[in-house]
Amino acid sequence: MKVRRAKLVCTLGPACDTEGGLGQLIEAGMDVARFNFSHGTHEEHGGRFERLRVASEAKKKPVAALQDLCGPKIRTGVFPARYQLPTGAEVTLVEGEESKDERVIPIQYEGLAGDVRVSDRILFDDGRIGLLVVGIEGDRVKATVTQGGEMRNHVGVHLPSKTMRVGALTEKDKEDLNFGLSLGVDYVALSFVRRAEDIALVREICNEWGRPVPIIAKIETPDAVENLESVIAASDGVMVARGDLGVEFPPERVPVIQRQILGVARRVRRPVIVATEMLQSMTKSPRPTRAEASDVANAVYSGTDALMLSGETATGDFPFVSAEMMSRIAMEAEGSPFYEPVPYATRATSVAEAIARGAVNTAKEIGAKYLVAFTESGSSAMNVSLARPHVPIIAFSPSPQARRVMALYWGVIPREMPQVNDTDRLVDWCSADLMGAGLAGPGERVVIVFGAPIGVRGTTNTIRVHVIR
């Protein structure tokens, strides 16, 4: 059986909003569904979440729900109409919601004049418009347009992140997080992380709810890059958010930072999602550019755990074709002679990690068909995944939530298992399940990792070689 190892994260939106559309997206390869809380109402996200669960059940495939919090996204106010802002023009930035003067740009950010400095660069609309601050007069910021373009209502504004006083978790984010936890999301992604303490705040809220949901740190600010190791270590996973990275840094730096993030994540053992504009042209075209195909393949070669589609599946004209194309490119890269997955971390630092490494080596030496993990929480499967085996990982768990969480793990195929506390009975059941699903045949070998006693979380301590019969 040919299995794609890198997982596929798809952003949901109007382009795939029905149960049928979500089912098609799952068939095309979606492993994780991203709910972008920068857009949409709670009612819209709630309905979408219910439809996802129904579609996932119908397709008999666990799909994780990832809530992506908006973060401190600053936007312009409202203008009478769209207009062209010419390069070289002198403009004034003010706090506010509305302006009738094209040379006065309202910014929805309290304390604007106190948080910028002369010579700061301010960018609009993902860097399409650029300004240089030339003076500050009271509560008004004087600037020169260095890169002109079309100005319109509520475009994103990028202020120098080092001087911004707003925290990574806004009041809107707190309301959205409470709503997401009430729904039962499987992951939470925090935008505009700057330091490890930002992650700790989200974790505290999740724990207060009694739902210790894994937290994904989105790396998109200079502070996060400076504090990279501590931020990633404080998280349960990391997203290379290349959109805002490309605004905060020169474009030529972004590929270097991407490799840097992957390297640190490998050292501290956290899964990585590479995101933003991977197949951007497919929002309007049924085929990607050659550069986009290479971008996806290079992310796979670099060792990413997951790849993400944004507008391609949320609002694009070809959502299912985009997901299928992403899956095909990843599988082609993984099947090539140039693909050499490298284990995360250079040496094991715990018994569970050592067991995972040993299982991977054993599977290679005996020619096993699969690595099998019996797991309550998914941690055994993650350890095996990070050890990067050459064979697929079948992860059995009695917990629906654990199976959904494992949907993000590289190379892992989550499957349901009964609550059985006898190891021999469980191994016999595993044989029957693999043969019944057509995954394995008599005489084939599998290497099994589990904790003894069975059913106790965090006790992975056993490797067992089993011949299917």
The 10s digit of each residue's pLDDT in 305-315 is 999 999 999 99
Closest residue by Cα to residue 415 from 393, 395, 430: 395
Please, which residues have CB within 8 angstroms of residue 367's CB and are 6 or more apart in sequence? 445
- Report whether 432 contacts 419 (CB < 8 A): no
454 band by pLDDT with thresholds 50, 70 and 90? confident
Q: What is the mean pLDDT of residues 350-374?
A: 94
Residue 342, in any domain of the structure: no
Q: How confident is the model at residue 57, as a pLDDT?
A: 97
Q: Both 181 and 66 in a single domain?
A: yes
Q: How confident is the model at residue 16, as a pLDDT?
A: 95
- Gap between the Cα atoms of 8 and 407, Å rounded: 9
Is residue 458's pLDDT more than 90? no
Q: Both 356 and 314 in a single domain?
A: no
Closest residue by Cα to residue 155 from 85, 222, 249: 85
Residue 346, in any domain of the structure: no
Residue 343, in any domain of the structure: no
CA-CA-CA-CA torsion sign (16, 21, 22, 24): negative
Quote the tokens at residue 311. 């507008």
Q: Report which residue type is found at 341.
A: P
Q: Both 324 and 433 in a single domain?
A: no
Q: Both 116 and 60 in a single domain?
A: no
- Burial class of residue 421 (count of CB atoms within 10 Å of its CB; 0-12, 13-18, 19+): exposed
Please tell me the total count of domains within the chain.
3
Select from 158, 190, 208 the last residue of a domain. Answer: 158
Closest residue by Cα to residue 173 from 75, 64, 51, 42: 42
- Gap between the Cα atoms of 151 and 86, Å rounded: 10
The one catalytic residue among 11, 76, 221, 276: 276
Is residue 10's pLDDT more than 90? yes
The one catalytic residue among 59, 61, 75, 328: 75
* Alpha helices in 211-318, H assignment, sequence order: 222-226, 228-234, 242-248, 254-268, 290-301, 311-314
Q: Both 41 and 142 in a single domain?
A: no
Residue 458, in any domain of the structure: yes
Is residue 206's pLDDT more than 90? yes
Q: How confident is the model at residue 204, as a pLDDT?
A: 95
- Gap between the Cα atoms of 126 and 246, Å rounded: 8
Quote the tokens at residue 154. 């509520």
Q: How confident is the model at residue 160, as a pLDDT?
A: 78
Q: Both 198 and 320 in a single domain?
A: yes
Residue 418, in any domain of the structure: yes
Is residue 162's pLDDT more than 70? no
The residue assigned the tokens 């129904």 is 54
The one catalytic residue among 5, 7, 34, 194: 34
452-459, Cβ contacts within 8 angstroms, sequence gap of 24 or more: 452/423, 453/421, 454/374, 454/420, 454/421, 454/422, 454/423, 454/426, 455/376, 455/419, 455/421, 456/376, 457/376, 457/377, 457/379, 458/352, 458/377, 458/379
34 is known as an active-site residue:
yes
Residue 23, in any domain of the structure: yes
CATH number at residue 108: 2.40.33.10
Q: Both 50 and 92 in a single domain?
A: no
Q: What is the pTM assigned to this prediction?
A: 0.92
Q: To 10 degrees, the CA torsion angle through 139, 145, 150, 152?
A: -10
Region of poorest pLDDT, from 31-45, 85-99, 274-288, 442-456:
442-456
Q: Both 248 and 318 in a single domain?
A: yes
Q: Both 203 and 184 in a single domain?
A: yes
The 10s digit of each residue's pLDDT in 89-117 is 999 999 999 999 999 999 988 889 988 99
- At 109, phi and psi to the nearest 5? -150, 120
Q: Both 363 and 235 in a single domain?
A: no
Quote the tokens at residue 390. 């050459």
Q: How confident is the model at residue 455, as a pLDDT?
A: 66
Greatest extent of the chain over all pairs of C-alpha atoms, in Å:
81
- Pairing type for strands 140-147 and 129-137 reads antiparallel
The 10s digit of each residue's pLDDT in 329-340 is 999 999 999 999
Cα separation values, 359 from 306, 352, 408, Å:
23, 11, 21
Q: How confident is the model at residue 163, as a pLDDT?
A: 61
The one catalytic residue among 218, 242, 270, 357: 218
Q: Both 328 and 384 in a single domain?
A: no
The 10s digit of each residue's pLDDT in 384-438 is 999 999 999 999 999 999 999 999 999 999 999 998 878 889 899 999 999 999 9
Residue 233, in any domain of the structure: yes
- Gap between the Cα atoms of 253 and 368, Å rounded: 42
- Burial class of residue 62 (count of CB atoms within 10 Å of its CB; 0-12, 13-18, 19+): buried
276 is known as an active-site residue:
yes
Select from 282, 303, 334 the last residue of a domain. Answer: 334
Residue 196, in any domain of the structure: yes
CATH number at residue 307: 3.20.20.60
Q: Both 199 and 151 in a single domain?
A: no
The residue assigned the tokens 């974790």 is 203
Range of the domain at 391: 351-467
Select from 334, 369, 396 the last residue of a domain. Answer: 334
Closest residue by Cα to residue 75 from 21, 131, 126, 6: 126
